[in-house]
Amino acid sequence: MNYEFTEILETIRMTEIEHFDIRTVTLGISLRDCHDRNLEITKQKIYDKILKYGKNHVKNAKEVEAQFGISIANKRVSVTPISIPFDSLTAEEFIEIAKTLDKAAEDIGIDYIAGFSALVQKGMTNGERELIKSIPFALSQTKRVCSSVNIGSTKAGINMDAVNLMSEVIKKTAELTKEKDSIGCAKLVVFANAVEDNPFVAGAFHGVTEPEVVLNVGISGPGVVLDAIKEAGKVDLQTLSEVIKKTIFKITRAGELIGRKVAEKNGVPFGIVDISLAPTPAEGDSIADILKAMGVEDVGAPGTTAALAMLNDSVKKAGLMASSSVGGMSGAFIPVSEDMGMIRAVQAGNLSLEKLEAMTAVCSVGLDMIAIPGDTPASTIAGIIADEAAIGIINDKTTAVRIIPAYGKKVGEMVDYGGLLGLAPVMEVRTISSQNFVSRGGRIPAPMRSLTN
Amino acid sequence: MKLSENEIRKITYETIEELGTNVSQDVIKEAVKKKIESLNNVPLSSINESSGKVILTSFGLNKPGIVAAITSALGNFNCDIQDLSQRIIGDFFTIIMILDISSSSKDLKEIQEEMRKTAEQLNIKIYLQHEDVFRFMHRI
């Protein structure tokens, strides 16, 4: 036999027992040729283009799932940051565009479409300002559209005017979607150093340097890593790092295979594999459980950041060996609401916002899916975004804030979205003020790191 | 089968060459449509995969007749069993087979569907996966 008995069983165990799945196959579609002086024609062009490339996306992905016996959790689409091709539009018109995206997503059978975005790390055009203004309305009037705004980069610094604007936008979005636990905020990401080929919604967009259309893959598999660590038993950390690397290598290889096959079926070029460990609310599919298996009593205990740093680094190293097209975020995600272990750590009082912030300095994204009290002032949210962006630009990495000021809710209450978005306990935020700092506005200059030439 | 834009363009150019430039657009459109349709009639199995190898894995509580049931079902679809290995641990069995389905009239999806029924009757698990996934994960 070409394969060892144990190898075949290992694969079966990963796919059938340990929740190994491909988290997302995301079709990136450029909308740069869709502008027209007439808004109705623009909308038609957007709709037609998404349907042209995306209409068989779900069907093709399902066929590949059956062929290889590996499930693909999400089939999604990302588009060019909407503010770029449609810079001349007004806020009202941007809402119309969002509705068009929503309709197109519905008609091709996907749950989310991402790219209602603007890149304003250095400054804002009039169109970008209008798009940002429209976000709360666009997110509250659509179901499937996701939005992201990049407010800082290592090369440009942090645009504090945009940070202040975004904190107001987040508050407004929370208010407009208050009937559904402020769900709008779960579809809105504020980035520093956003990547152009990220397949993970809500923060995905099809960057301007990307081709006409491309297929990117995001892998997952915390359950597989968790079981490998448990099986390894009491070994030193170097050995443990090897165990993690071997496991990630295998799932990255599978991810690349699936991505290439789906791309082939769609007749579009294959882009990248994002080797992120992304949790789901399912039992055992948790990053927190991995950290605990590594040895900390609970997430938040001293040592958590170091454990996470090692996990994240091992994931990257193995991924690089396994695929020559690694991209996106590529690391471990630590969203609170989507990870049962994280939720429990918050509820037990073991994990605070400040510890989470420290953890984001060594893992792939940032403060993700965190619910805070609805009466948190916008200036405090701006402070949180600025802190996170600072970690990003100084360390030359992507950071993000997806925070939910749950309208009308207080510390200890829960927001519950069901499905993959999960549920989150409202976390405590310090009440001391950031007002005088953030209201200075302007731009935090680019750090030393930017001068690499 | 899904054609890429380039392939369709190529077919169109060929058609224009065959028909000459004097015919109307509608005639060319019809001819191209026919060609694409005829291409689409090619059965999927013949263009689908480079290797027709599939790995079947089965587990469950051991009892007589399992190998017989699986192999006779596979025989009905003209699947060639190229390798077979079995382990018994306690009351449980594990069977792994390497199958060549390229001469079968059914495609992988249909065979999966049929084997699902066999698995239900015997109250065991049967998975069929394309060989590539194992090659990618375990071979560099």
Distance CA A346, CA A360 (A): 16
Q: Which amino acid would we find at residue A328?
A: G
CA proximity to B137, closest of A253, A244, A72, A225: A253
CB within 8 Å: B83 and A1: yes
Contact B129 A63 (CB under 8 A): no
Q: What is the pLDDT along chain A (453 residues), one digit of tens a residue?
A: 678 888 888 888 888 888 788 999 999 999 999 999 999 999 999 999 999 999 999 999 999 999 998 999 999 999 999 999 999 999 999 999 999 999 999 999 999 999 999 999 999 999 999 999 999 999 999 999 999 999 999 999 999 999 999 999 999 999 999 999 999 999 999 999 999 999 999 999 999 999 999 999 998 889 999 999 999 999 999 999 999 999 999 999 999 999 999 999 999 999 999 988 989 888 888 999 999 999 999 999 999 999 999 999 999 999 998 998 998 888 889 999 999 999 999 999 999 999 999 999 999 888 999 999 999 999 999 999 999 999 999 999 999 999 999 999 999 999 999 888 899 999 999 999 999 999 999 999 999 999 988
Chain A residues near residue B137 by CB distance under 8 angstroms:
7, 11, 250-251, 253-254
Task: Give the phi and the psi of residue B62 in degrees, each rounded to 5.
Answer: -70, 140
Give the residue on A whose Cα is nearest the Cα of B96.
A5
What is the pairing mode between strands B92-100 and B53-61?
Answer: antiparallel
Q: What is d(CA A60, CA A114) in angstroms, rounded to the nearest whole number? A: 20
Domains and CATH numbers, chain A: 27-192 (3.20.70.20), 217-447 (3.20.70.20)
Token duo for residue A107: 């008609």
The residues facing A146 across adjacent strands are: A114
Query: What ranges in A267-295 are assigned the alpha helix state H?
Result: 287-294
Contacts of B8 in chain A (CB under 8 A): none
Nearest alpha carbon to residue A388 among A444, A332, A322 = A444
B91 and B32 Cβ atoms separated by less than 8 Å: no
Between residues B29 and A276, the one the model is more confident about: A276
Alpha-carbon distance A439 to nearest alpha carbon in chain B (angstroms): 52
Other C-beta atoms lying within 10 Å of the C-beta of residue A439: 11
List residues of chain B with CB under 8 Å from any CB of chain A: 2-5, 55, 57, 83, 85, 87, 94, 96, 98, 108-109, 112, 125, 127-130, 132-134, 136-138
The SS3 assignment for B118 reads: helix
Q: Is A257 on the interface with B (CB under 8 A)?
A: yes
Between CA A134 and CA A116 the distance in angstroms is 10
CA dist A80 and A212 (Å) reads 10
pLDDT at A1: 62
* Interchain CB contacts (distance < 8 Å): A and B: 74
Q: Which CATH superfamily is domain B48-138 in?
A: ACT domain (3.30.70.260)
Q: How far apart are CA A337 and CA A425, in angstroms?
A: 8
**SS3 letters across A20-73:** CCEEEEEEEECCCCCCCCCHHHHHHHHHHHHHHHHCCHHHHHHHHHHHHCCCEE
Asked if the C-beta of A399 comes within 8 angstroms of chain B's C-beta atoms, the answer is no
Do the chains contact at B138 and A7, CB–CB below 8 Å? Answer: yes
A100 interface with B at CB cutoff 8 Å: no
pLDDT at A12: 86
- H or E element: which one contains B82? strand B80-89
The chain-wide mean pLDDT, for chain B, equals 83
Residue A436 CA: distances (Å) to CA of A40, A379, A432, A440, A441 = 44, 9, 11, 7, 10
Q: How far is A376 from chain B (nearest CA, A)?
A: 48
Domain boundaries, chain B: 5-42, 48-138
Q: Judge whether B60 and B124 are in contact, CB under 8 Å.
A: yes
Place of tokens 């036999």: A1
Does residue B47 have a pLDDT over 60? no
For residue A202, say if its preceding peptide bond is cis, omega within 30 degrees of 0.
yes
